[in-house]
Structures are given as structure tokens and as C-alpha cells.
Amino acid sequence: MNLSQSVLEFLSGDVNAKRIVPPSGFTARLTAFTAAAMAFLAVFALALSLATHRLAERWSGELAQSSTIRISAPLEQREAQTRAVLRILETTPGVATARALPPDEQRALLAPWFGADLPVETLPIPQLVEVVETAQGLDSEGLRLRLSAEAPGAVLDDHTRWRRPLVRAAERLNLLGLGALGLITLTMAAMITLAAGSALAANREVMRVLRLIGARDTFIARAFVRRFTLRALAGSAAGTVIAMACIWALPSVEQAGGFLTGLGFAGAGWLAPLLVPPVAAFVAFWATRFAALRALKDIP
Amino acid sequence: MIELSDITYGYDGSPLLNGISLDLSPGSFHFLTGPSGAGKTTLLKLCYLDLKPAKGTITVFGAPSEKLGRDAIAKLRRRVGVVHQDCGFLEHLSLRENVAMPLAAAGQDPTQHDAEIDELLAWVGLARRADALPAELSGGEKQRAALARALILSPDVVLADEPTGNVDWEMSLRLLTLLVELNRMGKAILIATHDLNLIRAAKAQVTARVLRLRRGQLDVAGVDL
């Protein structure tokens, strides 16, 4: 029998096994609600984790493939040194493009601190040269040596100093999201074990009678496991759908900008939350099976 | 089929049964008597491995109980039909479903045994009550239903704990007749009862050994009643 047949058989259920457990409204609602709430949180944790992963990759990629050269020279030498730097860059392997930032762009960069009317042309503000690297990247140390020889006022900043803490922060957020997912999974397992334990305690006499008429532990456990697994599956499916709808309704990055609005799924990432209900059902299956077999150990 | 050898069992340190030996062979018919609290139910529970003895050996269908795992015990219990004093039904299931439950527990499809279930219910006089819930049954009906459930897997041994405890004399005789019929089919029967009239009534129908449980000891009270 293959896996899909086993799953179908389990879902369709042994009509005799599933009838042996009396209906229990409270534990049914508790299990479904717990699964729904945990699935809702799991989808958000997943979204956080995926978003921070994307962010880390973007920051890492974008900053890793660009550098800035800062030319701090007297006003009368600035233009000559800028031309020298651009010439050096033209012959430097690993440089895709290089350009000196025009005064408008430099003004825009400084505007948040000094206002929009800053006369950058007349002030001893360093000239910035933006360097975009090829996929292979450039030899930073070699370039620094050439710059110090031919344009003494030029300093290469390959963004390493900025990039490392940013990427580290994003990676830690990613780990935090994954940790939250693990915690949510464990909490769900604990809650379902408790709910199953309550149902099992309430049905101890049923289990005892079944043992005495010759039922094996797996037969008795299966009835409880199937019920709790299906409840967890249904509850987590509902929680997942609601969470996905909430995330879909969040403002997009383009609309609002900023990090938090980047929380969500992109492209095939929307398929990731669909894993939450099967995982919840898997957790419920093993949590209930563990609780049922443990409870049965006390019954001869 | 079930053999108890030098069994000792007690609760909270005080022995209830002391050095008990009993052999339930095919076709045997035993009554187990004794005052309340003498240990009749305990002895029956030891027979179907619901309790473990403090000392001694229980052999069920040739297998020593101490070597049996939980699955093996479950399988052996399918060959031992037990009529419990409290009947022990699943209250949310109909009488018919309760009677069919041992089939499901044994991995069989009860719908394939509809005719047998109908026949058995008719045999114990409950054909019309098949869809009733246990709570809707009288004491006597429950006892008969418990007997039907005990027999659905055609066990080799029938153990009955006060099967006539909740029924009138007429019904007691009817249940006794059912058990005697089973014995004639070769089943080993052990009935725990304190109803001496029932034992006397059995005299006309079957050769039975009467065992008396007193002060932890098992004595033969009478042979060929």
C-alpha cells in the first residue's frame, strides 16, 4: 500500500473505529480553536521569516555589488582627481559601471540633514563616485593601492562596515521567525496532547471495555488519533486561510514603503503557508497517538 | 484452556487469594461460589488477565501470561467471552453495535456478520431491542446482551460474573439454559455466583463442578450436583 492510499484510508476512516469514541463537543472545539490560532500565528511567523530572509539577501546582494569612492581633495583638485579615479575604474577588472554623482544627487543625499538648498558645489564636501561591480566583484585591496598612488584624496568604501551588521540583523530576525515557528509547533503539540489527554481521561471506561473485548492498543488509539488529527487539520486550515487573507490585505511595499510593510509572501512564497495545515495534522497525529498509547498503558 | 497454578493475589498487602489452582478444560462447567468479598470477581479477572498475580502462574491457551505482550493478550481475550457484573457497554452505541464491537476490535467487518448478530440477538431474546441504547435496557436485557457480546466471536471459554444478579428467577433460568447449551457445544464455562438456587437448577441440565472460595482458599463444594 502506498502513502497516498494510506492517507486516504486514514481520512476516510474505519467506520467501526471512529464510532467507538463518544462525541465530545468541548475537546473538539478546543482542539480546532487551538489549531486555528496556532496556524494563524505560524503563518505570520513564516511571513516574518521569509521576509527577513529576502531582506537579508537583498541587503547582502545590493550592498555587496556596489562600492563608493569618496574624493576629499581641495576644490581646485577635485575635478582632476575625479577624472583620474574614473580612468582607474575603467581599467579595473570587476567594475561594471562607475559614475561621479552629480551635485543634484549629492544634494538629495544631504537634504535630510542640511535642507534642500545646500550649495554643494561651493562647499568642501567630498565628491562621491558610485561603483557597480560585476558578479565576480573587484579586488578592493588592489584598487585601494592604485587609488592611493594616482588619486591620493580618494578613499574606497566597499560597504563592508555597513553591510555586516545589517545582514546580521536580518539573519537574526530570520532565525527569530524560525524559532517562533518551532515554538508554535511545540505549543500546538502540547495543547493538543492536553486536549487529547482530557478526552482520553473522559473515555477511560470506553478504553477499558474495548481492551476487555480484545481490542489492541492501536485499534483504540486510532479512533482518538483520527478524530484529533482531522480536527487539527480543519482548524489549522481555517487559521491559515484567515492569516493569508490578513497578510494579503497588508499595504504593499510600493504603497507605503519601509520594512514592516515588506512582511508578507512573494511569488512562490505564497505556497509556503499551505504547508501549515498538513504539519498541524502531522503534529496532532503524533501528539494524540503518544497521549493515547500512554493512557492505554495504565489499562491491562 | 485456562490454568491457574498456585496463584496468590492481594490488595494493599493483604492476600485475598492464596495458593489458588484451577483448570478450565474444554467442555468443563464450573460454578464459583463464596460470600461477598471472597474474591470471586478477582479470580475471574485473573482468568482473563485483567489482573496480574503476585505469585503463581496463569497459562492461557498454552501461553504463560508473564510472557504475553499487550497485543497477544488482546488476541487471547477474543477467545474468552466475559459477561461482566456491570455489563460494561459503550453507552453511546446501540445494543446491536455493542454486540458487534468485538468483531470490529478483532479487525473484522461487522456488516459481513449481520446474520450471525441477528441470530445471536434472537437467541438471547433481544431481536426487537437491537436499536435500543444500553440505558434503555432493563437489567435482564443488559445481562443477555452482555452474554450475546461475549459470544459473538465464538469463544472457547465463557466467564460470567453474577450473570443473574439483576434478573428475576425466570430470566435466570433462561440465561442458565443458554450457558448450558454453549457448554454442550464444547465451551468451557465458569460462572461466579452466590445464587445456590441457580446451582441447584443447573443439576438437572449439566454436570458441573462447584468451587467455593473462602478465606483465600478454593475448595470443591460438590461434584455432579
pLDDT tens column, A208-245: 889 988 999 988 888 888 888 888 899 999 999 999 99
Grid coordinates standing for A55?
531582506
Length of chain A in terms of residues written: 300
Q: A181 and A136, same structural domain?
A: no
Task: For chain A, list residues whose CB is within 8 angstroms of any CB belonging to chain B.
Answer: 14, 16-17, 19-20, 22-23, 205-206, 208-217, 219, 296, 300
Q: Between B220 and B177, where is the model more confident?
A: B177
Mutation pick from A212, A217, A219, A220 vs chain B, by most beta carbons of B within 10 Å, is: A212
Q: Is there a domain that residue A166 lies in?
A: no
Q: Is there a domain that residue A163 lies in?
A: no
Distance, in Å, from the CA atom of B86 to the CA atom of B84, rounded to the nearest integer, reads 5
Q: A224, A201 in Cβ contact below 8 A?
A: no
B97 contact residues in A (CB cutoff 8 A): 19
Grid coordinates standing for B44?
475471574
Domain count along chain A:
2
Q: A44 and A91, same structural domain?
A: no
Q: Which of A14, A23, A300 sits opposite B50 (nearest CB)?
A: A300
CA distance A286 to chain B (A): 20
| Reported confidence tier of residue B225, pLDDT bands at 50, 70, 90 | very low
Domains of chain B: 1-79+157-225 (3.40.50.300), 88-154 (no CATH)
Q: Compute the mean pLDDT over every residue in chain B, rounded to the nearest whole number.
A: 87
Q: A217 and A189, same structural domain?
A: yes
B159 contact residues in A (CB cutoff 8 A): none
| The last residue of a domain, from among A98, A122, A152 | A152
> What residue numbers bound the domain in which A99 lies?
73-152
Q: Is there a domain that residue A266 lies in?
A: yes
Q: How far is CA B105 from CA A10, A216, B131, B192, in A?
A: 17, 7, 20, 26
Q: Is there a domain that residue A280 lies in?
A: yes
Q: What is the DSSP code (8-state) at residue B87? A: -
Q: Per the CB < 8 Å rule, is B105 touching A208? A: no
Distance, in Å, from the CA atom of A51 to the CA atom of A270, rounded to the nearest integer, reads 12
Q: A35, A284 in Cβ contact below 8 A?
A: yes
Three-state secondary structure of A228-252: HHHHHHHHHHHHHHHHHHHHHHCCC
pLDDT at B159 over 90: yes
Q: Is there a domain that residue A66 lies in?
A: no
What would the pLDDT profile of A123-178 be if each residue is shown by its tens digit?
778 888 888 888 787 888 888 888 888 888 888 887 776 777 877 887 888 888 88
Q: Give the pLDDT of residue A248.
A: 87
User: Please, which residues bridge with residue B63 across strands?
Assistant: B60
What would the pLDDT profile of B20-37 be if each residue is shown by its tens digit?
898 999 999 999 998 888
Predicted ipTM of the assembly: 0.86
Q: Is there a domain that residue A275 lies in?
A: yes
Q: Is there a domain that residue A68 lies in?
A: no
Q: A181 and A143, same structural domain?
A: no
Q: A181, A111 in Cβ contact below 8 A?
A: no
**Region of residue B172 (phi > 0: left; psi between -120 and 50: alpha; otherwise: beta):** alpha
Is the C-alpha dihedral spanning A81, A87, A89, A91 positive or negative?
A: negative
Q: A290 and A180, same structural domain?
A: yes
What is the β-pairing status of strands B55-60 and B2-11? antiparallel
Q: Give the pLDDT of residue A9.
A: 57
pLDDT at B82 over 60: yes
Q: A183 and A120, same structural domain?
A: no
B88 contact residues in A (CB cutoff 8 A): 205, 208-209, 212
A211 contact residues in B (CB cutoff 8 A): 74, 77
Q: A143 and A55, same structural domain?
A: no
Q: Give the pLDDT of residue B223.
A: 47
| The last residue of a domain, from among A102, A122, A152 | A152
Q: Is there a domain that residue A160 lies in?
A: no
Distance, in Å, from the CA atom of A276 to the CA atom of A50, rounded to the nearest integer, reads 14
Q: A241 and A179, same structural domain?
A: yes
Distance, in Å, from the CA atom of A47 to the CA atom of A52, rounded to the nearest integer, reads 8
Q: A138 and A89, same structural domain?
A: yes
What is the β-pairing status of strands B29-33 and B80-83? unpaired
Q: A184 and A282, same structural domain?
A: yes
Q: A273 and A133, same structural domain?
A: no
Q: Which of A215, A219, A300 sits opposite B51 (nearest CB)?
A: A300
Could you give the 3-state DSSP secondary structure of residue B61?
coil
B84 contact residues in A (CB cutoff 8 A): 212
Nearest chain B alpha carbon to A212: B77
How many other β-carbons are positioned within 10 Å of the β-carbon of residue B220?
A: 10
Q: A253 and A287, same structural domain?
A: yes
Q: Which of A114-128, A249-263, B210-224 has the lowest mean pLDDT?
A: A249-263
What would the pLDDT profile of B93-119 be if each residue is shown by its tens digit?
999 999 999 998 888 888 888 899 998
